[in-house]
Chains A and B, each alone.
Chain A
């Protein structure tokens, strides 16, 4: 296993943990908590700090779990590593843009039909106000990141590239 793969495992796990924390913080059941400006800024800064801390912890844990190799110190990414990252970046980007497109569609549907509830009775997870937009866009970024990391691991595990 290359150091890039070990790092990606750490990144994926830390992403899941921070995303989980973010969802717990932002939602109450199926509703988005209507935080105001300063509270949202605090959560945003909290996400950044939590990500840094989680990355450090999971990177150390991944190194311990997968074993430390002396060659890791001199490891340089080669063209296959870069090609895998490039493909995974593209897939992650597609995930983010798809989700943003869905958010735009939801906003348009909500505006055009105020009673729109995704066809579900009492559905309250609507994109409303700053908190709703913040939650939707941050979630898109998290999902894009998780998809990217998952794609990297998948490409390494398959020993192949979907080119």
Chain B
């Protein structure tokens, strides 16, 4: 069975701006570099499940409010 690869979308940028955080500050809170935050926001890097949960916990929102899957 061939499964077409989907795309993981996120709205981290909107949440980060709403929380008045810089990319570096968010990175520090979740244990990632600013470069990684940039890559995630541009959807060029899909974070691990653990980092994804850390992001959601940091913004105090449910996981699905941050990430969505587009098939």
Contacts and interface: CB of A to CB of B under 8 A. Distances in A.
Q: Chain A binding site: helix, strand, loop or mixed by DSSP?
A: loop
Interface residues of B, number: 16
Contacts of A76: 31
B45 A159 contact: yes
Q: What's the interface size class on A, roughly?
A: 10 to 19
A81 interface: yes
A160 interface: yes
A121 interface: no
Interface stretch (B10-18, B32-40, B55-63): B32-40
Contacts of A75: 33
Contact of B44 (A71, A81, A159): A159
Contacts of A160: 39, 44-45
Given A78-B31, A79-B36, A160-B44, 14 more contacts: A2-B33, A2-B35, A71-B24, A76-B31, A79-B51, A80-B33, A80-B35, A80-B39, A81-B36, A156-B35, A159-B35, A159-B39, A160-B45, A163-B46
